[in-house]
């Protein structure tokens, strides 16, 4: 609970089926890049300096791959399965660079549901404006599962 307000939890494993899909579109803005760079203190010139990047094979600044990974994991936390879920494994390949101001279309699809382990596998595919694949991979996540304990209801009274 945050500030006395209960938050909605994502879907439990019983409510998730193989083949479910989620589509998201993200535009990479300056504010996103600046927040990432500020939080991590990452001053890689490939991410921020046009003069340096112009001398590389990339030709212009690129988006840090960990920032793109963050978009993937936040989609798991926000939507599929949603709040209360937890990423336990990920395998992502970055097929080509993503540049500043790009718009990326993400497609997530549930490929496996294992009720015994409370775990789902999700395939990830992301494409740029030219419909070229920029990210491919899989993510394993634990949907929200609240353990009923004797103290859980007692805590709500405080």
Q: For every residue of 107-140, which 3-state class applies, written as one string?
A: EEEEEEEEHHHCEEEEEEEEECCCCCEEEEEEEE
The answer to whether residue 118 scores a pLDDT higher than 90 is yes
End-to-end Cα distance, the chain: 11
Is 157's pLDDT higher than 80? Answer: no
* pLDDT for 64: 93
Question: Average of pLDDT values for 111-138?
Answer: 97
Q: Average per-residue pLDDT in the chain? A: 89
Query: pTM of the entire structure?
Result: 0.84
Closest CA to 139 of 157, 105, 112: 112
Q: What is the pLDDT of residue 1?
A: 45
- Answer CATH for 13-156 from 3.30.200.20, 3.30.70.2740, 3.10.129.10, 3.40.50.2300: 3.10.129.10
Q: List the domain boundaries for the chain.
A: 13-156
Calculate mean pLDDT across residues 75-90: 95
- Most confident stretch, 31-45, 60-74, 119-133: 119-133
Which of the four pLDDT bands, split at 50, 70 and 90, describes residue 125? very high
């Amino acid at each position: 609970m945050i500030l006395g307000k209960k938050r909605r939890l994502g879907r439990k494993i019983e409510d998730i089926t193989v083949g479910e899909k989620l589509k998201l579109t993200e535009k990479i803005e300056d504010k996103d890049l600046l927040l990432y760079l500020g939080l991590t203190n990452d001053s890689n010139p490939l991410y921020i300096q046009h003069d340096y990047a112009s001398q590389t094979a990339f030709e212009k600044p690129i988006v840090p791959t960990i920032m793109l990974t963050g978009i993937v994991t936040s989609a798991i936390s926000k939507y599929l399965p949603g709040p209360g879920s937890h990423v336990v494994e990920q395998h992502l390949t970055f097929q080509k660079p993503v540049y500043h101001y790009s718009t990326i279309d993400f497609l997530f699809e549930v490929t496996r549901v294992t009720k015994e382990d409370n775990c789902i596998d999700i395939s990830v595919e992301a494409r740029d404006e030219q419909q070229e694949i920029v990210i491919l991979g899989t993510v394993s996540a634990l949907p929200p599962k609240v353990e009923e304990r004797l103290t859980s209801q007692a805590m709500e009274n405080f």
